Structure 1
Amino acid sequence: MKPSYLVRFTLVLVSLVLLAACGGGKPVRRINPPALSVQQLSVQADGRWLIELRVQNFSTVAMRFDTLEAGLEIEGSNAGAIFLRPMLEIPGQSADVVEATLAPSHEAAAKLTEAARSGSIGYQLRGGIETGEPSKKFPLSQSSRLSPVPGRPNTYR
């Protein structure tokens, strides 16, 4: 038996509707707040800290990071301010690393030294992230912990 004209017409119509539903449109453009965290902190011979900061883009589109500004605290002690103008473009759902050098406060440096003996130390970044494309300002508040890296003196992750 051959399918009737009405059945064939219905199948074609359903196929076209399904094809149209699959097709189109542009990808959804979602702008989500980025994140900034300490990936690694190394104490240099002169006492300054070399800080590798991980910049995470949680948006679905590429973002250009123009300004990263944050105060760093170590166990509640102000370590100093970080101000960078990386002009760094990061694709959507990706991350990159930037470096900053900081001359820490005496109190924060002493607390970091204690971390080598105790195992880990808490830190907090507070400030803001400014992007140029798209043009937005995002508040920043990130808390986490750093631990000494085995076999690498004066290095924390």
Structure 2
Amino acid sequence: MKLAILVRAALILLAFSLLAACGGGKPVRRINPPAVSIQQLAVQADGRWQLELRVQNFSTVPMQFDTFEAGLEIEGANAGSIYVRPALEIPGQSADVVSATVSPSREAAERLAQSARDGSIGYQLRGEVVTSEPNRKFPASHASRLSPVPGRPNTYR
């Protein structure tokens, strides 16, 4: 009888200990470098490029994105500079899209036209992302490929 009471008390104590261990304090704040990539590139009638930039927050906390400044290369040719001030808050582990316009170099525009005929376009972004919350500067570098969008001339994703 006494043994059964002791076993029950030990099981109850064990259950409460396990329950307390699961509920620990606040979530861990992890600040990780964000990533910026081109979600879409559309060639406008005047020759400028309209970019949709995907900004990804890999941190566990919301971040306030103030500026993004980068150089853009298309198939190894300098296409120009990107500078945007999105003033955008992105929740942790989320992403959002910002727009930018680039007046590409002649060489980059020619490479884009040639690559479009070949099927896909390689690009590279190199620059810096500045956040105000938290107050940090992150290097940004991304290389990938864009493909023509079927049914949408002069548009690449």
- Per the normalisation by structure 1, the TM-score is 0.96
Cα deviation, 1:55-102, whole Å, max 9, x if unaligned, reads 011111111101101100001110000011111000111110000011
Count of residue pairs the alignment pairs up: 157
Distance of 1:111 and 1:4 partners within structure 2: 81
How large is the Cα RMSD of the aligned pairs? 1.2
Secondary structure at the counterpart of residue 116 of structure 2: helix
Unaligned runs of 5+ in 1: none
In the alignment, residue 67 of structure 2 is paired with which amino acid? T
In the alignment, residue 38 of structure 1 is paired with which amino acid? I
Give the CA deviation at 1:9.
Answer: 2.1
Distance of 1:121 and 1:44 partners within structure 2: 17
Work out whether 1:140 is the aligned partner of 2:147: no
Distance of 1:2 and 1:45 partners within structure 2: 88
Unaligned runs of 5+ in 2: none
Secondary structure at the counterpart of residue 72 of structure 2: strand
The 5 A counterparts of 1:103-142 are: 103-142=103-142
In the alignment, residue 45 of structure 2 is paired with which amino acid? A
In the alignment, residue 33 of structure 2 is paired with which amino acid? P
> Runs in 1 of length 4+ with deviation above 3 angstroms?
none
Cα deviation, 1:79-133, whole Å, max 9, x if unaligned, reads 0000111110001111100000110000000000112210011000000111110
In the alignment, residue 140 of structure 1 is paired with which amino acid? A
Could you tell me which residue of structure 1 aligns to residue 65 of structure 2?
A: 65
Give the CA deviation at 1:6.
Answer: 1.7
In the alignment, residue 100 of structure 1 is paired with which amino acid? A
Secondary structure at the counterpart of residue 4 of structure 1: helix
Secondary structure at the counterpart of residue 19 of structure 1: helix
User: Which shifted more, 56-65 or 5-14?
Assistant: 5-14
Distance of 1:45 and 1:3 partners within structure 2: 86
Between the aligned residues of both structures, percent identity stands at 73
Tell me if structure 2 keeps the 8 A contact 1:115–1:147.
Answer: no
Give the CA deviation at 1:150.
Answer: 1.0
Distance of 2:87 and 2:153 partners within structure 1: 32
Tell me if structure 2 keeps the 8 A contact 1:115–1:148.
Answer: no
Distance of 1:8 and 1:121 partners within structure 2: 68
Cα deviation, 1:12-50, whole Å, max 9, x if unaligned, reads 211221111011210111111110000000000000000
Distance of 2:147 and 2:11 partners within structure 1: 63
